[in-house]
Amino acid sequence: MNAPSRLSPALLEQLSTIVGEQRVKTDDDSLKTWGVDWTKHYEPRPSAIVFPASTEEVQAIVKLANEHQVAVTPSGGRTGLSAGAVAANGEIVISLDRMNKVLSFLHADRLVHIQAGVVTEQLQQYAEQQGLYYPVDFAAAGSSQMGGNIGTNAGGIKVIHYGMTREWVLGLTVVTGKGDVLHLNKGMIKNATGYALHQLFIGSEGTLGIVTEAEIKLTRQPQDLKVLVLSVPDFAAVMPILHAFQQRIDLTAFEFFNQIALEKVLAHGHASRPFDTESPLYVLLEFEGRFEAVVDDAMQIFEHCMEQGWILDGVMSQSQAQAEALWHLREGISETIAPFTPYKNDISVLITHVPAFIAEIDAIVAANYPDFEVCWFGHIGDGNLHLNILKPADLSKDEFFEKCKVVNQFVFETVQKYNGSISAEHGVGMTKKDYLHYTRDTVEIQYMRELKKVFDPNGIMNPGKVFDL
């Protein structure tokens, strides 16, 4: 039986008037489905899920929430890895699922105007139909929404060349926590008229307002992408390989993963070993091979790295299908290890510090997790490591997370020592909130709190995420 909603019948009635009766859900299944993201740390406990179809409907809901002092949580594709979209405290979840339309396209500007519920892959396909490219890409592109990507400033596998979501957003329509509608920057490349407020909303994890529409820049399609997977003897060899290739070639990706990660993906099926040589680490790199000379360069660099002992073996894709199969070895990791309830860290430092940083983190991991399986992977070309500790089957979730939290302190102290980030691209949400001070100092966090008050004076927008008021 479904429990009665914690919202008053009058408020539920008003929500129904705004979006339609069928678009307000309070049944247990819906509350569980739309009350969570990919994290499994918190129990979902929203009061209701609403599905608006327009900016005006979102605005009306936010105004109502202000009148009734009820918190709201914006919800995209719910693939987030930091519990930013989790509604654990009776919030009204505002799902953007119905706001999934491409509104217009300006060819000369290469500018597409979309609703925030457009799925990442949908935008990528739309760009392709225009002969263009939307380059922010990652394993959750099939479900994540552009509103969610903007909420977290998503990165992914092409950041080394194309940058984060922030680089591609030229305009936003937002409903602030106060209930005002703002049309920010309106797609312009050049606009020197004061604060770039649209940038403030990017990465704000729904704490300032709700993004309802966005103007997104597209670019030319990359051509003849070549993918190399290399086996590497140790962490010390990874960055010299990056520098050797980057000296002569513009890389579109430079990723790494360890042997455990590879074995998990292979065991999951639909993937084959790239070559026979096993090694502790693997690097995947990608570049545009549209000129013979570039491919020749890559081969020469490969041979140089072999001579130096940085590479033990390697393979280069000879077709699109092979390139996709090689990418799957890296892209399949998150999904493959999800059943092991991994404890995830998403940390970053400047490229300069990567070798020393990795050596220290590796020592912490070896000393503290001798009995746990540890999956290393990530966007190492951006200085971004994903450190995933896998839960042993015989340990309860709570016991496991408690053990991991103890080690977090050592990991984050090392991040702080190198002026790095405790969350490179997944956001802070609830899972990293207690550690924010390792990356942002007290005064800076206070400025963020003050900013929130400007856009959300009643504190109804996704409270308890990023920081507490």
* Closest separation in Å from C-beta 95 to ligand FAD: 9
Stretch that binds ligand FAD, among 68-76, 300-308, 318-326, 352-360 (CB under 6 A): 68-76
Count the residues of the shown chain that bind ligand FAD, applying the rule CB under 6 A: 40
Q: Which is nearer to ligand FAD, 187 or 463 (CB)?
A: 463
**Cβ distance to ligand FAD smaller for residue 240 or 459:** 459
Kindly tell me which of 144 and 439 has the beta carbon lying closer to ligand FAD: 144
Interface pick for ligand FAD out of 145, 231, 252, 431 (rule CB under 6 A): 145
Q: Is 12 in the site for ligand FAD (CB under 6 A)?
A: no
* 425 touching ligand FAD, by CB under 6 A: yes
Q: 199, 166 in Cβ contact below 8 A? A: yes
Please identify which residue in 155, 177, 342, 463 interacts with ligand FAD, judged by CB under 6 A: 155
Q: Contacts with ligand FAD in 326-345 (CB under 6 A)?
A: 334-335
Stretch that binds ligand FAD, among 6-14, 137-145, 187-195, 366-374 (CB under 6 A): 137-145
Under the criterion CB under 6 A, does residue 55 sit at the interface with ligand FAD?
A: no
Bridge-based pairing state of the strands 373-378 and 251-258: antiparallel
Query: Looking at beta carbons only, is 75 or 408 nearer to ligand FAD?
Result: 75
Quick check: 81 binds ligand FAD (CB under 6 A)?
yes
**Which pair of tokens denotes residue 371?**
């009995």
Chosen residue from 15, 34, 38, 281 binding ligand FAD by CB under 6 A: 38
Nearest CA-CA partner of 228 in 294, 300, 284? 284
Supply the minimum distance, in Å, between the C-beta of residue 114 and ligand FAD: 11
205 near ligand FAD, rule: CB under 6 A: yes
Q: Minimal CB distance to ligand FAD: which residue?
A: 148
- Our CB check for ligand FAD shows the closer of 113 and 465 to be 465
Query: Which residue in the set 206, 289, 420, 464 belongs to the binding site for ligand FAD (CB under 6 A)?
Result: 206
Binding of residue 95 to ligand FAD (CB under 6 A): no
Among 112, 127, 132, 210, binds ligand FAD (CB under 6 A): 210
For residue 436, state whether it binds ligand FAD (rule: CB under 6 A): no
With 0-12 / 13-18 / 19 or more C-beta atoms within 10 angstroms meaning exposed / middle / buried, residue 378 is buried
Query: Any idea what the Cα angle at residue 145 is, between residues 143 and 147, rounded to 5°?
Result: 160
Binding-site ranges for ligand FAD (CB under 6 A): 37-38, 73-81, 84-85, 96, 116, 138-140, 144-145, 147-149, 151-152, 154-156, 205-206, 210-211, 334-335, 425-427, 429, 462, 465
